[in-house]
Structure 1
Amino acid sequence: MVAHRYSSLAHYNAWANHRVYEAAARLSPAQYMQDRGAFFGSVHGTLNHMLVADRIWMRRFTGNGEAAWSLDTILFQEFDALRPARTAEDARIIDFVAALDDAALTSTISYRNSSGAAFTQPLDAALDHFFNHQTHHRGQVHALLSAFLGNADTPSLDLIRFQRENAVDAPFRASMT
Structure 2
Amino acid sequence: MDILYSMRLQARFNRWSNSRILECCDDLRDTERKQEIPGPQAWSIHGLLNQMLLQDRIWLGRMLNKPYVYRSLDQVLYTEYALLRTERLRTDSEIMNFVQNLAYPNLDRQISFRHERSQRECTLLLGDCLLGMLHHQSLQRGRMTVLLSQLGVSMAPLNMSAMPGIVE
Q: TM-score, normalised by structure 2?
A: 0.90
**1:142 partner amino acid:** T
Partner of 1:29: 30
Contact 2:114 2:121 in 1 (8 A): yes
Alignment of 1:70-109 (within 5 A): 70-109=72-111
For the aligned residue pairs, the C-alpha RMSD in angstroms reads 1.7
Q: Deviations over 1:51-94 (max 9, x none)?
A: 00011001110122643251111000011110000011001101
Query: Counterpart of 1:166?
Result: 165
Which amino acid in 2 is paired with 1:122? L
**1:135: how far off?**
0.7
Report SS of the residue matched to 1:149.
Answer: coil
Partner of 1:170: none
2-side partners of 1:16 and 1:100: how far apart?
22
Distance 1:119 1:37 in 2: 34
- Checking the alignment, whether the CA contact within 8 Å between 1:108 and 1:123 is kept in structure 2 is yes
State the SS of the aligned residue for 2:156.
Answer: coil
Change (3 A) 1:21 1:65: farther
Match of 2:7 in 1: 6
Aligned to 1:157: 158
Please say if residues 15 and 89 of structure 2, whose CA atoms lie closer than 8 Å, have aligned partners that are also in contact. Answer: yes
Which amino acid is 1:44 matched to? H
Q: Which moved more, 1:28-37 or 1:82-91?
A: 28-37
Query: How many residue pairs end up in the alignment?
Result: 165
Question: Could you say which structure has the higher helix fraction?
Answer: 1
Contact 2:62 2:68 in 1 (8 A): no
Letter aligned with residue 84 of structure 2: L
Q: Is the 8 A contact 1:49 1:74 kept in 2?
A: yes
The answer as to 2:138 corresponding to 1:138 is no
Question: SS state of the match for residue 76, structure 1?
Answer: coil
3-state SS in 2 of match to 1:64 = coil
SS class of match (2:66): coil
Q: Secondary structure at the match of 2:137?
A: helix
- The more displaced of 49-58 and 153-162 is 153-162
